[in-house]
Amino acid sequence: MTNLIAISEMAKLHGITRQTLIYYDEIDLFKPREVDENGYRYYSRRQIPYLREICFLKSVGVSLKDIVEHFQERCPEKEMELLRAQKSKIVREMNKLNKIRESISQRIDIYEEAVDANAVNIKEPFVKCIAARSMIVQEYIKPITKENLHTTLMALWKKVFAKEMVPSSGFGSMIRKKNAVKRDYENGIATCIFLPPETHNIEDVVEVPTGEYACMYKYGMPYDFEHVDRLLDWIEGKGYEVIGDVIDICLLDTTFYREQKSLDFCMLQIPIKRKK
């Protein structure tokens, strides 16, 4: 067997393990040229290109099952077909991973906002320019209780998942402008989920424009309307007027607190402009 290669040397040549070659033998993918009386496997040097190709296909993600089937009738045309199919699969996976990456970035942005809030007086309103966003909304189940808040939000959450989107851009509540200016909050409040910044294949999307927003951090639930009252009073006192819906974004929910707390950490946002 001087012209043959021992299994350990064959494995070393290809950067794989001896156990891998034993497994390839067991599944009839790559069998040794000879097996001696002690059960040791030996390979011909002419087998090297075959194992090299198996290793290549495995390295680009082709399954062993597909490689086994492919080597039964291997030809250039079938290999191109196999590789094109694998390329298409990888493109789909890359698109999925890009969406996941964006979802993670969006969630990080929300947490950064919450962490940065520690550096300011959360009781002091301020004006901030906020970029355009898209969201979907649904009227809250009445009466507005914590249980009904969760139920309404999850109904909206299902709509997002049904479109294979991840609701990572934040959620909260919205009070329609006409109800906010009249301080008639309960009749105009709805839950909302912000959508990822991409084309949305979903109905009833509400576009929230870029602009200046009067903002204020708060600990409270959406039905704690005293915070909205306070921010609206501040807007009036500073010579602004409300030009859009009130948005109440949840930055940190109660799952972040080690001690028992019943209030979310949120950010009120109200679009404004200077009065003429």
Averaged pLDDT, 120-138:
88
Helix axes 18-26, 7-14, angle to 10 degrees: 110
Question: What tens digit of pLDDT does each residue of 184-195 get?
Answer: 988 889 999 988
* CA atoms of 7 and 16, how far apart (whole Å): 11
Question: 3-state class of 106 per DSSP?
Answer: helix
**Which strand (E) or helix (H) includes residue 274?**
strand 265-274
pTM above 0.95, yes or no: no
Helix axes 76-116, 64-72, angle to 10 degrees: 170
* CA atoms of 212 and 273, how far apart (whole Å): 7
**pLDDT at residue 166, as a whole number:** 72
Ranges assigned E (strand) in 184-264: 189-194, 206-208, 211-219, 240-242, 246-252
Name the DSSP class of 247. Answer: E
Q: How confident is the model at residue 62 (pLDDT cuts 50, 70, 90)?
A: very high
**pLDDT at residue 199, as a whole number:** 55
Name the DSSP class of 120. Answer: S
Name the DSSP class of 18. Answer: H
**CA angle, corner 133, sides to 128 and 135, nearest 5?**
125
Residue type, 82: L
Q: How confident is the model at residue 65 (pLDDT cuts 50, 70, 90)?
A: very high
Structural domains of the chain ordered from first start: 4-74 (1.10.1660.10), 103-274 (3.20.80.10)
When mean pLDDT is compared over 34-38, 118-122, 156-160, the highest value belongs to: 34-38
Write down the residue that tokens 């602004």 correspond to: 240
**Burial code of 58-81, b = ≥16 C-beta within 10 A, e = fewer?**
beeebeeeebeebbeeeeeeeeee
Residue 1 has pLDDT above 60, yes or no: no
